[in-house]
Amino acid sequence: MVCLVLSVFEFGLVPTVKAQSWLTGWGYRKSHVINYASGAGTLYQVKITCYYGSGTDSGGSVYLNSHSRTDFGDVRFTDNDGTTLLDCWMENYTASNNAVFWVEVADDLSTVDATIYVYYGKSDATTTSNGDNTFRLFDHFDDGSLNTAKWDAGGVGTIAESGTVLTITSGNTVNDHKYVTSDLIYATGVAVEVFSKTTYTAQGSAWEGMAKTKGAESNVDFTLAFYYHASYTPFLYNSGNGSNYDFFQTALAKDTSYRRSSCKRSGTTDKLIIEGAAERTGLYPTSVNRYVTMDCYTLVDGAPAQILIDWVAVRKYVDPEPAHGAWGSEETGDTAPPTYSLPATPYNETRAGYAARFDCLWNDNTNVTTSYFCTNNTGVWSNSSVTMVWVNTTAAWANYTITLNSTVGVVVAYLWNCSDAVPNWNTTMPMQTVTTTYYASLTINTSSHTFSLNPGDNNITVTEGSISLTITSNANFNVQAYGADLVSGSYSIPVGNLLMSQSSLASAVNMTVSYQNIPGLTNQASGSNLSKSFVLWLSCPLGTRALTYSYTLHVRVVIAS
């Protein structure tokens, strides 16, 4: 069973080079020596089992000291330069326990030991497991139909690829033979790794391994590590050289469980093994090239054979295989999370409903990669990835712009998180707050206004007709005004002789020297560039000198209570 690892978070920023010989962003690594083996050459696949917990590294087993992701999605292998990634495929994993990897070693293992590194400890990393890149032939049968670039199908019966399983079923008639064979034929020096099972243990015959020809049916033409037959209780091995064959009953009884099998050919040596049984060296090996084959055969009418293959991989194989050598001790990369410093003005806006940009400066000993801005501005907490503005390689401004809650007086909480490339996350920032504020802009279009009247005149309308305003307000608002006595030298007209109202004299109020609401202009709906106006009336007392009196009208916009 293969476990794919998905992550909740996908961090888009790719770290730049952190330090020479270190895979940027990863927190830990161990070196491992792969001993050379004659004929192994380059691009040899070796199996390494990674354990999540702690233990003593040995052979192909390495312990990651709980520093990896529990799904092992952050495990990487590099060449001995520490940075060149090696192709690998994760055969399976058990969360928080172990994962089995096949690693394609780039160096020539024929005569010289090779050193590789296993990296781990990057919480945001997801697996890069890739069987196609790792093996000479690989198929997980997860693309919905048989890949004819890899396989040929023949015989009588059916094949179906669904999910991640290829199902091969022979026909219902005796001697119906259904097979799927690799397009390519392989010389010795390869191993066929298969994860498969059968549906029927008591009918037909089915096998997987290597065949001399496509559609071959004779035991002498097969090298098989997964082989069952209705007439035999256990799983079988088969080793044939075209003339003779070794038909061997393993100690493993047939069942319908997925079984891991390996059919390995090197030179004139066959080695066969199925999970649960001992490996056997075939008695009739051959150096003749052979195809990878998966077959079903009906022995009795109405009782077809059927096998299900989860995956197949063809890898390089020499006998003996390159052995696992020494493991280095765990090396530590960057574990320090970034640190933050909030600027004196961490946001540039407080007005409700306006766009506010929040800033935070992050520093890291290597580099900052990702920052999240978290806020309950909308009433619900949300995280948003932010754009980083680099100051240098180790410092970056995180900027994020939100439209502040449109309600005035709301305390909006926010905070920043940030990680470096490892990633080491800093989530320690205490909650910050910003209180949305009221905002209004006011333009008095009637920048000056006049009255023309005589002593004794009452309620003379301002010459301009009204005082015109343009208002932008982010909340419902009142318009208020105040004035002062109209003065000319030592003479004056009392401010109370001014009346003001939006339009109705009957509802007008006497102006005073302090702000008061203008009747008709209270609780006005918020909006932008709103046109408003109000009227002024002036009464001139008898005895008022024939002069020009002046005063200043003050108008303001305040939030409606």
CA–CA dist 109, 191 (Å, integer): 17
Of 492, 332, 510, 307, whose CA–CA distance to 422 is shortest? Answer: 332
Residues numbered 152 to 171 that lie near another protein (CB under 8 A) are 163-165
Residues numbered 16 to 45 that lie near another protein (CB under 8 A) are none
CB-nearer residue toward another protein: 202 or 547: 547
Whether 51 and 64 have beta carbons less than 8 Å apart is answered as: yes
CB-nearer residue toward another protein: 213 or 428: 428
Q: Which helix (H) or strand (E) holds 133?
A: helix 131-134
- Segment near another protein (CB under 8 A); pick from 180-188, 248-256, 259-267, 546-554: 546-554
Q: Counting contacts by CB under 8 A, is residue 452 touching another protein?
A: yes
In 492-512, which positions are buried (b, 16+ CB within 10 angstroms) versus exposed (e)? bbebebbbbbbeeeeebeebe
CB-nearer residue toward another protein: 185 or 442: 442
CB-nearer residue toward another protein: 2 or 342: 2
Q: Counting contacts by CB under 8 A, is residue 397 touching another protein?
A: no
- Segment near another protein (CB under 8 A); pick from 33-41, 215-223, 294-302, 424-432: 424-432
CB-nearer residue toward another protein: 101 or 327: 101
Q: Counting contacts by CB under 8 A, is residue 7 touching another protein?
A: yes
The token duo for 442 is 């006011």
Q: Which helix (H) or strand (E) holds 132?
A: helix 131-134
Q: Counting contacts by CB under 8 A, is residue 2 touching another protein?
A: yes
CA–CA dist 280, 127 (Å, integer): 34
CA–CA dist 169, 176 (Å, integer): 10
- Segment near another protein (CB under 8 A); pick from 44-52, 109-117, 331-339, 379-387: 379-387
CB of 461 to another protein, least distance (A): 12
Binding mask 239-278 for another protein (x = CB under 8 A): -------------------x--------------------
DSSP 134: H
CB-nearer residue toward another protein: 242 or 409: 409
The token duo for 53 is 């917990």
User: Positive or negative, the Cα torsion across 296, 300, 304, 309?
Assistant: negative
CA–CA dist 555, 336 (Å, integer): 56
CB-nearer residue toward another protein: 329 or 552: 552
Residues numbered 333 to 362 that lie near another protein (CB under 8 A) are 350-351
Binding mask 64-103 for another protein (x = CB under 8 A): -----xxx-x-------------------x-x--------
The token duo for 19 is 């330090």
Helix, strand or coil for residue 76? strand
Q: Out of 442, 496, 509, 517, which residue is the one contacting another protein (CB under 8 A)?
A: 442
Binding mask 287-316 for another protein (x = CB under 8 A): -----------------------x------
CA–CA dist 524, 530 (Å, integer): 10
Measuring CA to CA, how many Å separate 109 from each of 267, 516, 532? Answer: 17, 91, 86
